[in-house]
Chains A and B, each alone.
Chain A
Amino acid sequence: MIGLEHYLIVSALLFSLGMMGVILRRNLIVIYMGLELMLNAANLALVAFSRFNNSMDGQVMVFFVITVAAAEVAVGLALIVALYRKRQSTEVEDLTSLKL
Chain B
Amino acid sequence: MEALLFYIFAALTLICALLVVANPFTRNPVTSAMFLVCTIISMAGLFVLLHAFFLAAVQVMVYAGAVIVLFLFVIMLLDIPSVEQRSFNLLGVGMGGLGLLAVGGMVIQTMLRSGIGQGKTPQLEGATKELGVTLFTEYVLAFEIMGVLLLVGMMGVILLSKKDLK
Q: Which residues of A contact B (CB under 8 A)?
A: 1-10, 12-21, 23-27, 29-30, 32-34, 36-37, 40, 43-44, 47-48, 50-57, 59-60, 62-64, 66-75, 77-82, 84, 90-91, 93
State in angstroms the CA–CA spacing of A24 and B90 once bound together: 11
Q: Which residues of B contact A18 (CB under 8 A)?
A: 17, 21
One of B83, B96, B108, B124 near A91 (C-beta < 8 A) = B83
Highest count of chain A CB atoms <10 Å: which of B55, B66, B139: B55
Interchain residue pairs with CB less than 8 A apart (9): A10-B10, A27-B27, A37-B17, A52-B117, A52-B123, A53-B120, A73-B71, A82-B161, A91-B86
Q: Which residues of B contact A29 (CB under 8 A)?
A: 29, 32, 71, 74-75
Tell me the interface secondary structure of chain B in the complex. Answer: helix
* Contact call B71/A33, Cβ cutoff below 8 A: yes
State in angstroms the CA–CA spacing of A51 and B55 once bound together: 13
Which B5-61 residues sit within 8 Å CB-CB of chain A? Answer: 6, 10, 13-14, 17-18, 20-22, 27, 29, 32-33, 36, 39-40, 43, 46-47, 49-52, 54-55, 58-59
One of B10, B58, B108, B123 near A63 (C-beta < 8 A) = B58
Q: Which residues of A contact B67 (CB under 8 A)?
A: 36, 69-70, 73
A-B interface, 9 closest residue pairs, ranked by CB to CB distance from nearest = A4-B117, A21-B21, A16-B104, A71-B153, A54-B123, A5-B117, A78-B160, A12-B107, A3-B117
Contacts known (A17-B17, A37-B39, A44-B43); A2 close to B2, Cβ less than 8 A: yes
Contacts known (A62-B55, A71-B153); A51 close to B123, Cβ less than 8 A: yes
Q: Which residues of B contact A (CB under 8 A)?
A: 2-3, 6, 10, 13-14, 17-18, 20-22, 27, 29, 32-33, 36, 39-40, 43, 46-47, 49-52, 54-55, 58-59, 62-63, 66-67, 70-71, 74-75, 77-78, 80, 83, 86, 93, 96-97, 99-101, 103-104, 107-108, 111-112, 116-117, 120-124, 126, 130-131, 134-135, 138-139, 142, 146, 149-150, 153-154, 156-157, 160-161, 165
* Contact call A71/B149, Cβ cutoff below 8 A: yes
State in angstroms the CA–CA spacing of A65 and B21 once bound together: 22
State in angstroms the CA–CA spacing of A71 and B71 once bound together: 13
* Contact call A5/B116, Cβ cutoff below 8 A: yes
